[in-house]
Amino acid sequence: MPETEIQAALPLTHLNEEERMLRDTVRQFAQQEIAPRVRAMDEAQKLDPGILRQLFELGLMAIEAPLELGGAGASFFSAVLAVEEIARVDPAVAVMVDVQNTLAVNALLRWATPDQQRMYLPRMAQQTVCAYALSEAGSGSDAFSLMTQARADGDRYVLNGRKLWISNAVEADLFLVFATVNPEAGYKGITAFLVERGTAGFTVGHKEDKMGIRASSTCELLFDDCRVPAANVIGEVGKGYKIAIETLNEGRIGIAAQMLGLAEGAWGFAVKYSQERRQFGKPIAEFQAVQFALADMATEIEAARMMVYNAARLKGAEMPFVKEAAMAKLYASRVAESVASRAVEIYGGYGFVKDYPVEKFYRDAKIGAIYEGTSNMQLATIGKAVLSGS
């Protein structure tokens, strides 16, 4: 059997040597460096600057960018693995890696000019966080009803408007901003711009006080006659909707990986605790009800892993993956909530207090059904796909 056929016959969860090395490196980093800081970052609602610095040093902030531009030169699947492994320890830190790679870096790799790539990708690989700014007060699921406007003025565009719920905004020095150059043209007026922190007329505003993923910053962005060079347009004027659609399709696989990692982390703590907690003279792991709960959780996690890895493999092979990405995000977010909830129950009263990690996993899980496309939007995408026969 040819090697290509052997590879195709292997289970989706099979990792090649490069992928295993990345997984093991990120897992060790997460356990040794992130884990001791999880609670402090959650309470402070702030990412530890030392953690962010190490993410850059490990090459995790531009995984797909080519080596000649400072990136790791690895695959989309590798980025998904990194998100999963970090989320096993802290889903909030995973947001940083996910948005940077699956949204920002991906957008520049696909749509930026060679000059733009040479200017920005090395910075994003070494020290610059890039945030993705699409959502507004009146455009969440209906993303293309955005109201932020961009008016041409010579060799610049003047941006006015307000963005909401922008992840990584506190740490970011670069923002991929979507605005319309012609509100009457609907989605065909939407254009993508790179806006640097410090640009006159641009302000990072209110930081949200969130239920979960609290160490991940989420802020509003304010544009008041913000003048952006026309050279900072990504892709074509009026074609920003294509960038948004395609990057979000890819980004959903990243969110699915985050939710998969969250479920794995919560399950791991539940297994360990069930072997330590004694009731009626024996560990609760010896009770069939607890065993069945852990077995159900493990089965759901394995199913989610297969779906996430399948979507990531399809995307990496440049095959159709939109339906599979929507399914992976939908299912993985449901599994994350379910597993985290049952982990809390296995801990009992201890699971309801902040001294134990499953409480945080439970709070963090809810966002999976909301950002980068709500569960209802994933169902709509899947429904259209299956009805069309794709």
Give the mean pLDDT of 69-74: 97
DSSP 234: E
337 flagged as catalytic: no
More confident residue, 18 or 3: 18
| Mean of pLDDT over the chain | 95
**Tell me, what's the pLDDT at 3?**
40
* Banded model confidence at residue 11, pLDDT cuts 50, 70, 90: low
Give the mean pLDDT of 221-240: 98
Question: Domains of the chain by range and CATH?
Answer: 3-129 (1.10.540.10), 131-240 (2.40.110.10), 241-387 (1.20.140.10)
Cα–Cα distance, 208 to 222 (Å, whole number)? 14
**Tell me, what's the pLDDT at 10?**
56
**Tell me, what's the pLDDT at 276?**
97
Give the mean pLDDT of 42-69: 98
pLDDT digits (tens, 9 = 90+) for 164-197: 999 999 999 999 999 999 999 999 999 999 999 9
Phi, psi (rounded to 5 degrees) for 176: -90, 105
3-state secondary structure of 10: coil
User: Which tokens in the block code for residue 9?
Assistant: 């016959």
Least confident of 52-61, 137-146, 241-250: 137-146
pLDDT digits (tens, 9 = 90+) for 169-178: 999 999 999 9
Specify the pTM: 0.95
Location of structure tokens 């990194």: 82
Least confident of 139-153, 240-254, 312-326: 139-153
Phi, psi (rounded to 5 degrees) for 166: -95, 115
Cα–Cα distance, 204 to 133 (Å, whole number)? 11
Angle made by CA atoms 237, 242, 247, in degrees to the nearest 5: 120
User: Which tokens in the block code for residue 8?
Assistant: 């195709």
Nearest C-alpha neighbor of 246 from the set 186, 176, 196, 304: 176
Contact 323, 253 (CB under 8 A): no
**Tell me, what's the pLDDT at 139?**
87
Here the contacts of 65-73 (C-beta below 8 Å, separation 24 or greater) are 65/105, 65/109, 65/121, 65/124, 65/125, 69/117, 69/118, 69/121, 69/122, 69/125, 70/121, 70/122, 70/125, 70/126, 71/105, 71/121, 71/125, 72/125
**Tell me, what's the pLDDT at 7?**
44
3-state secondary structure of 172: coil
Cα–Cα distance, 75 to 259 (Å, whole number)? 20
Taking the mean position of all CA atoms in its chain, how far away is CA 195? 21
Query: Which of 84, 85, 136, 372 is flagged as catalytic?
Result: 372
Contact 333, 369 (CB under 8 A): yes
With 90 as the cut, is the pLDDT of residue 8 above it?
Answer: no
